[in-house]
């Protein structure tokens, strides 16, 4: 399913639960959507870099099972953006549902 | 060359050296995590490799996305050269004031000699140079101030060029402005890609 525009929001949602690395973010999105949101993992990192440039997430080095990994955590600004995105999404989703006559 | 190397080669095309190294590290980390998970799922090593590369997707698409958010070779070069220019100018601060002042004095001298039409060019040129070279002395160190300065700069430059060259010489106007416009375009890309904390002085101007 094409959900390119919502990928940054989904990344923020994954990071609000726990700071983690790129692979786990991808798996979390796929698992929680029960496989519906199956995106190409190569596009996850550019989205993460964009969020980092905008100050919505920050990265840090972490040692996981003896291997150095780049992990990401959500910032205060990121949490505020996520709250705004959630509200906008609910509004949009409600409107589309009404138009499609499924309310 | 392994499939991963080939994927990385395409995905890092035209990226700066640092950006390419960063992409390489993060994709390799991702690859090995995914590879281990596939092996744990019961896949053979070759099959796991195929599965992981397929999950990464089209490297050309990833490259396009990376180039939108990370520095390309030409942008990294522009940043380096901009830093060099800024250092050179700052180490010769007297030049920043002396050159526009000399040009303005020439304009005033011509004006006093009664050559009003000729005086317009050095006066307008001196004002433009004072604005461009003197900017480093101004307290511009926040994005909001920088935005205001850039609006003032472009409005002044356009006015100065129109006064100096009038509309009949518009080809001359365009040839003078394109280099400034190109520099501005590159800086817009750099501002978008670098966090504000990492902006060098010239990105504010």
Predicted ipTM?
0.84
Dist. CA A88–CA B201, nearest whole Å: 37
Residue A2, chain B, CB below 8 Å: the answer is no
Which of A46, A54, A64, A77 to probe the B interface (max B CBs under 10 A)?
A: A46
Closest-CA residue to B70 (of B13, B146, B32): B13
- Arithmetic mean of pLDDT, B17-43: 92
Q: Answer whether B69 sits within 8 Å of A70, measured CB to CB.
A: no
Write the pLDDT tens digit of every residue in B53-70.
Answer: 999 999 999 999 999 999
Q: Answer whether A49 sits within 8 Å of B55, measured CB to CB.
A: no
Question: Looking at the whole model, is its pTM more than 0.80?
Answer: no
- Give the domains, in start order, of chain A with CATH numbers: 4-99 (1.10.10.10)
Select the residue of A41, A50, A55 nearest B30 (Cβ to Cβ): A41
Q: Answer whether A50 sits within 8 Å of B33, measured CB to CB.
A: no
Domain ranges, ordered by start, for chain B:
3-69, 106-204
Cβ neighbours of A20 (radius 10 Å): 18
Residue B57, chain A, CB below 8 Å: the answer is yes
Q: B93-112 vs B73-91: helix axis angle to the nearest 10? A: 70
Residue A58, chain B, CB below 8 Å: the answer is no
Dist. CA B29–CA B31, nearest whole Å: 5
Dist. CA B127–CA B69, nearest whole Å: 36
Nearest CA-CA distance, residue A24 and chain B, Å? 9
Top-confidence residue, B43 or A11: A11
CA angle, A13 as apex, A11 and A16 as ends, to 5°? Answer: 110
Helix (H, G, I), strand (E, B) or coil at A75: coil
Residue B61, chain A, CB below 8 Å: the answer is yes
Write the pLDDT tens digit of every residue in B109-164.
Answer: 888 888 887 888 888 888 888 877 777 778 888 888 888 988 988 888 888 777 76
Identify all chain A residues contacting B29, using CB atoms and an 8 Å cutoff: 21-23, 67, 69-70
């Amino acid at each position: 399913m094409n959900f390119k525009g919502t990928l940054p929001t989904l990344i923020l949602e994954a990071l609000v639960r726990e700071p983690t690395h790129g692979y786990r973010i991808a798996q979390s999105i796929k698992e929680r959507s029960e496989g519906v949101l199956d995106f190409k993992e190569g596009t996850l990192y550019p989205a993460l870099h964009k969020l980092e440039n905008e100050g919505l997430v920050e990265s840090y080095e972490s040692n996981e099972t003896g291997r150095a990994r780049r992990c990401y955590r959500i910032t205060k600004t990121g949490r505020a953006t996520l709250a705004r995105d959630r509200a906008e999404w609910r509004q949009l989703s409600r409107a589309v549902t009404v138009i499609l006559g499924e309310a | 060359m392994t499939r991963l190397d080939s994927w990385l080669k395409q995905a890092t095309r035209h990226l700066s050296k640092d950006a390419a190294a960063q992409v390489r590290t993060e994709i390799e980390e991702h690859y090995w995590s995914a590879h281990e998970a596939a092996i744990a799922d019961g896949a053979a090593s070759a099959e796991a490799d195929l599965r992981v590369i397929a999950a990464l997707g089209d490297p050309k698409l990833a490259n396009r996305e990376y180039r939108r958010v990370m520095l390309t070779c030409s942008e990294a070069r522009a940043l380096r050269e901009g830093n060099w220019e800024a250092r050179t100018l700052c180490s010769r601060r007297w030049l920043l004031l002396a050159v526009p002042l000399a040009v303005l004095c020439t304009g005033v001298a011509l004006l006093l000699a009664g050559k009003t039409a000729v005086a317009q060019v050095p006066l307008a040129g001196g004002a433009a140079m004072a604005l461009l070279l003197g900017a480093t002395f101004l307290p511009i160190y926040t994005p909001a101030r920088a935005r205001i300065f850039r609006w003032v700069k472009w409005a002044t430059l356009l006015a100065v060029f129109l006064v100096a060259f009038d509309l009949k010489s518009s080809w001359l106007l365009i040839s003078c402005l394109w280099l400034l416009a190109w520099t501005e375009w590159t800086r817009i890309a750099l501002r978008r890609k670098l966090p504000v904390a990492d902006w060098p002085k010239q990105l504010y101007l």
